[in-house]
Amino acid sequence: MERPRISIFDTTLRDGEQAPGCSMGIREKSRMAFQLENLGVDIIEAGFPAAADADFEAVRVISGQLRSPIIAGLARASEPDILRAWTALENARRPRIHVFLASSDLHLTCKLRITREQALDQVYKAVSYARTLCNDVEFSPEDASRSDVYFLCRFVQAAVDAGATVINIPDTVGYTLPQEFSELIQMVRKSVHGIEKVTLSAHCHNDLGLAVANTLAAIQAGARQVECTINGIGERAGNASLEEIIMALNVRQEKLPYETGIDTREIPHQPIAGRTDRL
């Protein structure tokens, strides 16, 4: 029987470098990107182009260098951010715009100061605009694991209706437990019309030491993309570790009958100097 394929989305160059002491310049990001390509990563999130000129340039350079992986750029759910991401990505052979907007009442009220209905409208407009630029658009409802589940499903529905090709469910503050996260993924799969036509993803943080466990629970619940970083680096306690996820899938095939494109022989290798002619 053919095993389901899990896509590996590496965000070391975006989320990972937020860890103290892990900030990277363009040359370091380029070297890391080449090694991620050698490793067999499916998607590389190269940066957040609207956040800083250096991030924009890193996404632009990596987009022009790599050929195998999808190259993603992060953007808030606003036209200026999305256009900035697309400008950085437009030379990529396989570009993806990754749009995010908070879905929890805590974030909507205290951070964004908008209502649920305003957020729903913003999601639909932002994803629709991103699709006019790029055929591959991922949407993430930030703080999904602390959101009202029924509103979260409406939120995801708006993104799917607007043309999102990937829906990512983040445990933004590392709050959830594996059983809870599994139930959340299952609820989204059951409640959102058309979800079967998009890729469902998981993005877990390690504040309670459960990022990898939650990621594996999401896979078993139907997620087919996982977001992770090398060595689990990232803000606060870090992200799900790429190496731990991959080796769990490889070693425990009797319980986790999935496959990835990762070449495990490349895991211990250090990033090597890649082409720098465009730096």
- The tally of CA atoms less than 13 A away on the side-chain side of residue 155 is 29
Query: What is the pLDDT at residue 272?
Result: 58
Does the reported pTM lie above 0.85?
A: yes
pLDDT band for position 278 (50/70/90)?
very low
Kindly report, residue by residue over 28-47, the tens digit of the pLDDT: 999 999 999 999 999 999 99
Kindly report, residue by residue over 16-28, the tens digit of the pLDDT: 999 999 999 999 9
Which residues sit opposite 76 in a β-bridge?
A: 100
Kindly report, residue by residue over 95-108, the tens digit of the pLDDT: 999 999 999 999 99
Q: What's the token pair of residue 45? A: 């999130």
Q: What's the token pair of residue 35? A: 């090694």
Kindly report, residue by residue over 234-273, the tens digit of the pLDDT: 999 999 999 999 999 999 999 999 999 999 999 998 775 5
Q: Is the pLDDT of residue 15 over 90?
A: yes
Q: What's the token pair of residue 91? A: 């030379």
User: Which residue type does 270 have?
Assistant: Q
pLDDT band for position 217 (50/70/90)?
very high
Contact call for residues 23 and 57 (beta carbons, < 8 A): no
Which domains are assigned to the chain?
7-266 (3.20.20.70)
Across the chain, mean pLDDT equals 96
